[in-house]
Structures are given as structure tokens and as C-alpha cells.
């Protein structure tokens, strides 16, 4: 093959690649740009300046939104996401550690059960959960949502962390035990620090997912006054005559914590997801 042909191929490959990248950039960039733009528009401007990048921006929507009740639902979201993350981690870290070391039939059954729990639609689990929390008198409380989220995410967390514990050499753990460390010591002093990337990845993802979760929230919490952000969004977008600048400004506020977290953890997430998702 001549160099000219090679060069030609390289060039055409570059063009194809660049146009594909442009298309992806458009379809993923445009929605974000429009969320932000619309949140700064007057309601009357929303549709008259729909396709235009130029309009007179206003902060009035944000000013109207930023009330004490919004602050309350923001706090509820933080409480739900943080408590669900803590409970899930407390339960799944030791389980992920143990399942990484087992090697027998029980393991197969355990893993399969976890995968089954992980895959059952949330729209299915909310039906009995509603009944159970109703019977326990826990409806309309944050703990019901926190516990439901923890149960939803525990199988996912265990499965995501297991490969990190598996990648720790068995010899290391055994050496510590020969040196007289108890099982708990070798877990907490050797394995836990070595699996910290996996734990951090898992914690981030659980926090992000429970931050955005809304199906459990809108059904287990009965009074919209105690809704988290995600449930407020779900309620607003479902109504008639949507106030778009308001909805988009809410979307921006609900996305900010995710954005901040994402900036600090993307590298970790990238490694963690590729290790945990497919294994």
C-alpha cells in the first residue's frame, strides 16, 4: 500500500471521527445549554426566543424559587442521599469483602440473588414497600425513603465493590493473619484501605442515584411539604401548564451537587465503573 493511500485513509477517518464527535457534542451539549438558558428567561420569552441565544436574562425565577421551603426540600434531599449512602456502605462493604473471598456454592447463590434483587423494576418493589411502610406507620417519613433507597442500592453496591476486594492478593491477608491479626483486624487494617477506590466510587454513585431517586419519594412521602428536590421536580413536570423557567431553574439547582461531586470524582468513577460494571 502506498503512503498516499494510507494518508488518504487517515484523513477520511479523521473527518468521520470529527463529524461523529460533533454530532454527539450537539445532542449532549444542547439540552444542558437549553436548561441553563431557559432558567434565565422571562416566561413570555421562553417560546418567542426559543431558538435564539439572545434574550434579556433575568434572575427573577431564581429569586422566586429560593425560598425557605425550597431550602427545606434541598435539606431533605441531602439527608436522604447521605443517610442512604451511609447505611448502604455499612452493610455492603463487609458483604462485598466476604463475597470476594468465598469460593463455593453459596457464593453462586448469593451473587445470583443479589443480581435478581438489583434487576427487579422499582415500579414493582414500590407496591409492597408502600404496603409495608403503611402497616409500620412509617409513611410520610424520611426514614421510609432512606431505607427503601438503601435496599434498592445495597445489591448494586456489593456487586460493584466485590471486584475491588478480589483484586487484593490473598497472600497479603493471609500474611497479616499469620502475624497474629484477627479476621477483623486484617479486614479493617489491610483490605479496607486497599479497597478505598472502590468504596469511594460506590459511595459517589449511591449518593448520586439516591439524590435523583423520585419514585419512592413521591409515593412514600404523602405531604409535598416534605418532598426532596427530585420529587418536587417530578410533581412540577407532571402538572398542566408547566412554568418552564421555574422547572429549568429547579433542574439547575438539583444538578449542581451532582456537578460538583462529579468534577472531583470523575477519574475515580471511570476506573470504578469499568471494573465493577462488567465484572
Partner 1 sequence: MTLLSTKSSIDAIRSAQRKGGHLLYVVPAVFLLTLLSAFPLFQLARMSFSDVGIKNITGVWTNVGFANFKAIASDPDFKQILINTLVFVGIVTFLGLILGFVAATAFNDAKKSSDFLLAFMVFIWALPPIVNGSVWKFLLGGDGLINVLLQKVSLISEPIPFLYDPKMALYSVAMVNCWAVIPFNALILKAAFKSVSKDVLEASEIDGVTPLQQIRYVYFPSSRPTLLVLAILTLVYGFRSFDFIYVMTYGGPGLATNTLPFLGYIKAFVLFDFSKGAAIALLSAIFTSGLALLYSRSVRKEEQND
**Which residues inside 173-192 make contact with partner 1, applying CB under 8 A?**
174, 177-178, 183, 187
x/- map, 74-93, partner 1, by CB under 8 A: -------------x--xxx-
Rounded Cα–Cα distance for residues 124 and 245 (Å): 33
Rounded Cα–Cα distance for residues 2 and 58 (Å): 60
Q: Which is nearer to partner 1, 68 or 105 (CB)?
A: 105
Q: What is the separation of C-alpha 214 from the centre of its chain, rounded to a whole number of angstroms?
A: 12
- Collapsing DSSP states into helix, strand and coil, what is residue 212? helix
Region binding partner 1 by CB under 8 A among candidate stretches 15-23, 53-61, 64-72, 194-202: 15-23
Q: Which is nearer to partner 1, 99 or 221 (CB)?
A: 99
x/- map, 58-77, partner 1, by CB under 8 A: --------------------
- With binding defined as CB under 8 A, does residue 150 bind partner 1? yes
DSSP structure class, residue 214: -
Q: How many CA atoms lie within 13 A of 124 on its CB side?
A: 6
Q: Which is nearer to partner 1, 65 or 110 (CB)?
A: 110
Region binding partner 1 by CB under 8 A among candidate stretches 56-64, 68-76, 146-154, 192-200: 146-154
Q: Distances in Å between the alpha carbon of 249 and those of 91, 231, 252, 256?
A: 36, 15, 5, 11
Rounded Cα–Cα distance for residues 67 and 17 (Å): 47
Rounded Cα–Cα distance for residues 231 and 126 (Å): 15
Q: How far is the CB of 140 from partner 1 (least distance, A)?
A: 14
Q: How far is the CB of 238 from partner 1 (least distance, A)?
A: 6
One of 69, 75, 122, 185 touching partner 1 (CB under 8 A): 122
Q: How far is the CB of 179 from partner 1 (least distance, A)?
A: 10
Residue 71, judged by CB atoms within 10 A of its CB (0-12, 13-18, 19+), counts as exposed
CB of 155 closer than 8 Å to CB of 117: yes
Q: How far is the CB of 36 from partner 1 (least distance, A)?
A: 10
Q: What is the separation of C-alpha 247 from the centre of its chain, rounded to a whole number of angstroms?
A: 21
One of 66, 172, 260, 277 touching partner 1 (CB under 8 A): 277
Q: Interface residues for partner 1 in 212-251 (CB under 8 A)?
A: 212, 214-215, 219, 230, 233-234, 237-238, 244, 247-248, 251
Amino acid at each position: 500500500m502506498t503512503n498516499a493511500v494510507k494518508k488518504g485513509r487517515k484523513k477520511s477517518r479523521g473527518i468521520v471521527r470529527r463529524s461523529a464527535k460533533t454530532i454527539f457534542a450537539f445532542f449532549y451539549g444542547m439540552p444542558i445549554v437549553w436548561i441553563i438558558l431557559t432558567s434565565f428567561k422571562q416566561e413570555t420569552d421562553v417560546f418567542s426566543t426559543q431558538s435564539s441565544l439572545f434574550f434579556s436574562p433575568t434572575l427573577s425565577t431564581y429569586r422566586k424559587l429560593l425560598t425557605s421551603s425550597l431550602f427545606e426540600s434541598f435539606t431533605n434531599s441531602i439527608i436522604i442521599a447521605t443517610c442512604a449512602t451511609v447505611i448502604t456502605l455499612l452493610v455492603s462493604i463487609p458483604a462485598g469483602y466476604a463475597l470476594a473471598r468465598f469460593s463455593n456454592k453459596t457464593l453462586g447463590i448469593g451473587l445470583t440473588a443479589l443480581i435478581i434483587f438489583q434487576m427487579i423494576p422499582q415500579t414493582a418493589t414500590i407496591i409492597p414497600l408502600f404496603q409495608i411502610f403503611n402497616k409500620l406507620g412509617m409513611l410520610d417519613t424520611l426514614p421510609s425513603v432512606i431505607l427503601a433507597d438503601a435496599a434498592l442500592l445495597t445489591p448494586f453496591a456489593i456487586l460493584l465493590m466485590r471486584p475491588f476486594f478480589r483484586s487484593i492478593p490473598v497472600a497479603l491477608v493471609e500474611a497479616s493473619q499469620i502475624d497474629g491479626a484477627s479476621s477483623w483486624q486484617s479486614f479493617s487494617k489491610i483490605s479496607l484501605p486497599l479497597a478505598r477506590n472502590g468504596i469511594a466510587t460506590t459511595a459517589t454513585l449511591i449518593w448520586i442515584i439516591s439524590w435523583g431517586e423520585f419514585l419512592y419519594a413521591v409515593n412514600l412521602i404523602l405531604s409535598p411539604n416534605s418532598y426532596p428536590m427530585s420529587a418536587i421536580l417530578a410533581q412540577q413536570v407532571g402538572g398542566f401548564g408547566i412554568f418552564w423557567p421555574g422547572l429549568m431553574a429547579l433542574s439547575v439547582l438539583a444538578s449542581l451537587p451532582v456537578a460538583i461531586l462529579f468534577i472531583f470524582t470523575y477519574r475515580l468513577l471511570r476506573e470504578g465503573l469499568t471494573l465493577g460494571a462488567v465484572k
